[in-house]
Amino acid sequence: MLRQRFVLDTTALTDSYAWESEGYNTICEGMNAILDRIAQGRLNLGISCYVPYPSVYNEIKDFARHNNCDPQVMSKVDTWLVKKTPDRYKVKVPSKIFYEYVDFMRSRINKGMNVAEEAIWESVSRCIVLSESGMDLKAMRAELEREAVGSIVRKFREKYRSALRYGILDSAPDIDVLLLAKDLDAAVVSQDLGIQRWAEQLGLRFMESRSFPIMIKEYMNALPGRTPEEFEEDRMI
């Protein structure tokens, strides 16, 4: 079998669908199970899994700490995931990608502006309605703060986040994942739609986080004369 390389985003270990489908109930159990699956792929299939260092590695470490995961989880991260910093100076990215990204971001910013305008008009309308109700200024202000402003702000945040964050690269770790995959000619494993979109633009192989453990399991099942269950028994001896 051709040996494969994969570059993992944080969601490769933290996506709930990836571990809930395997029957685990907590994020720590899920991360532990996915790392065990990666260990199977490493020892039996020669699969190599990388994480950008320090950006994605620190995200995973912080995620494990905030969820009070057992230290064994990070021990497995250090054992089975190769930490590597992408060569940001030598990796070549076509200039067309930058052109398309700027054009894409312009359209997203315009959508965000439209969402903001809608929120302003809605707040003005609410104020006009309240001013015509005959309420005194103090009661009107309390009503605006409690009902009008709060609900409008919540709605605005949801729409604005959807308009600006859907399908974009919004962090340094996102870019590091793509650069490292480009540097290694590796596949990207992520559940992030922005990473998926721009992995396609860069011509990189892409796999959803929730499909990655299943893929390794299927590879293991295809090995002649050996099953994942037998491999687990070997590890426990």
pLDDT (tens digit per residue) in 26-80: 999 999 999 999 999 999 999 999 999 999 999 999 999 999 999 999 999 999 9
Q: Is the separation of the CB atoms in 130 and 170 below 8 Å?
A: no
Given pLDDT bands bounded at 50, 70 and 90, which one contains residue 236? Answer: very low
Beta strands in the chain, from DSSP E residues, in sequence order: 5-8, 48-52, 81-84, 187-190, 206-208
Instruction: Kindly report, residue by residue over 76-119, the tens digit of the pLDDT.
Output: 999 999 999 999 888 988 888 878 878 877 887 888 888 888 88
**What is the DSSP secondary structure assignment for residue 211, as one 8-state letter?**
G
Where is average pLDDT lowest: 4-13, 147-156, 207-216? 147-156
Range from 13-17, 59-63, 119-123 that averages highest in pLDDT: 59-63
Tell me the angle at which helices 172-184 and 55-66 cross, rounded to the nearest 10 degrees: 130
Check pLDDT > 60 for residue 178.
Answer: yes
Where is average pLDDT lowest: 35-39, 125-129, 140-144? 140-144
